[in-house]
A and B are shown apart, each in its own frame.
Chain A
Amino acid sequence: MGDPEKPDFHAVRGALNGVVLQLEVIRLALDKGDDAMARRALAAARDAAKTAAERLDAAAAKVGE
């Protein structure tokens, strides 16, 4: 996939995409009153946000070098 030398900001976008989608799922779950679905999406959103942060750190480290 990406060049190991270059910071991969695209990967950050990919993870943020996950966050946005999960937020929409949460909205849908709230609409339906489906708590379990909302909780699952919340956990997934948190994971995606964490991944985004990690990828951002990795990219920033490469920029710094």
Chain B
Amino acid sequence: MGDAPERPSTRVLASLGQRAGEVAHDFDNSLTAIAAHATLIRGATDDPEVLEHARAILRAARTASQVVERVRAMLRGGEKHERVQVDVEALADEARVAVAARGDKRGVTVVRRREGHAATVAGDPAELLQVVVNLGNNAVDASPDGAEVAIVTADTLDGGAAIVVEDRGAGVPDELRERVFEPFFTTKGSHGTGLGLALCRAIVERHGGALALDPRRGGGTVARVALPLAGDDVPAPRHATSVAIRGVGLDARVLVVDDDDGTREALRVLLEAAGFDVTIAADGTSAVTSFATRRPDVVVSDLELGEDDGGAVISQLLAIDRAVPVVLASGKDAPVGAPWVARVSAILRKPVSPVELVATIRRLAAQRRGAMAGADTPRRESP
């Protein structure tokens, strides 16, 4: 396991490394422009055929920007990484919840089994969570409807910790066993980026571990992550809450609209720590401009925006994209009966608990992503 001198994927990544940052940046800018225009087209037409094409462009642009994000994540290897104690059981539990959401749609159940001792490894909790979630998603994708996926924690032979993801799918053909780890190798066409396993392997190896995919007896695949246990010198995460705050941001873009400088900045810092890609706006005009160009997945807005009325701003955003989830943070009750209130996804009363805010955004982003991944975005009936 893991002792091959240098895999092609590692070389490919190393050579990509140099200019990838700049390229990714330029690429992302172009994507933003493409998406912004597609959004405008979508808002400007009632022609179902044009709408359909505009949506297809948006989906493609979105997938492409996820690719950019994942390439970036993969290349972050050189940077300094946070290493804290990570409880393997808790990590697997949390991953199960995320993977189960994907399984739900197809009646695939995701179960947890504990076969080893409680173990603590040293690592970046968000990254390790991403690994298990990616492997779990692959397992769900490979599973027939109604099948079972298991996330198992176990001991390795050399005294380390293992997280194993088992499925009863078609398995990986022999000749593809190493190729599946290559960046951009996918058999899912436009539904996959082919970066999942490359990213997982890069992360696991950065953690001094190994990742292997093997056939499962009786059919299916066993993905096995082996990690060394944490040494005594590894610090515990200092606060339970901030671990809850941190985690996968689901690649989601969040637009924060708040007129108070301190609040806006605090929200940006906290949501970025939670893994979201955050844009901020202080008033209605910049919110609308930013919304049209950045296409956030979730909007968090204050109800009182100084001169502007938060409700009016939210109505404008919903006019651009009627399916965008909006989280309203408010010191008072939202005006009952205002037409936009019914379209707000969540209302959080101030003072807002940061943990609850993060959980709400994560849930909405996951739902939104699920809806966008479907062949058709649900269409609202015209009034």
Contacts and interface: CB of A to CB of B under 8 A. Distances in A.
Contacts of B267: 21
A44 interface: yes
Interface string B105-145: 00000000000000000000000000000000000000000
A56 B381 CA distance: 46
Contacts of B351: 13, 16-17, 19-21
Given A21-B354, A47-B262, A14 B331 contact: yes
A52 B270 CA distance: 21
Nearest to B273: A28
Interface in B302-361: 302, 304, 329-332, 349-354
B242 A18 contact: no
Contacts of A44: 262, 265-266
A41 B266 contact: yes
Contacts of B330: 10
B263 interface: yes
Interface string A1-34: 1000000001111101111111011011011100
B358 to A, nearest CB: 10
Interface residues of B, number: 28
A32 B245 CA distance: 14
A21 B241 CA distance: 13
Contacts of B82: 32
B379 interface: no
A44 B273 CA distance: 18
Nearest to B268: A25
Interface string A36-47: 010001001001
Interface string B260-282: 10110111011001000000000
Nearest to A11: B331
B380 interface: no
A21 B238 contact: no
A13 B273 contact: no
Given A13-B351, A21-B354, A31-B239, A48 B269 contact: no
Given A1-B304, A10-B332, A17 B263 contact: yes
Kindly name the residue among A20, A32, A48 whose own CB sees the greatest number of chain B CB atoms within 10 A. A20
Given A27-B239, A28-B273, A31-B237, A16 B350 contact: yes
Given A28-B245, A31-B239, A13 B350 contact: yes
A22 B238 contact: no
A65 B77 CA distance: 64
Nearest to A12: B331
Kindly name the residue among A11, A16, A22, A24 whose own CB sees the greatest number of chain B CB atoms within 10 A. A24
A31 B266 contact: no
A18 B270 contact: no
Contacts of B242: 24, 27-28, 31
A16 B350 CA distance: 8
A3 to B, nearest CB: 12
A24 B304 contact: no
Contacts of B354: 20-21, 24
Ranked nearest first, the 9 interchain pairs of A and B with the lowest CB-CB distance are: A10-B331, A13-B331, A17-B350, A21-B266, A10-B332, A17-B351, A20-B351, A24-B354, A14-B331
Given A1-B304, A22-B262, A37-B269, 10 more contacts: A12-B331, A13-B350, A17-B329, A21-B270, A21-B354, A24-B245, A25-B266, A25-B270, A30-B238, A48-B263
6 contacts: A10-B332, A13-B332, A20-B351, A21-B354, A22-B266, A24-B241
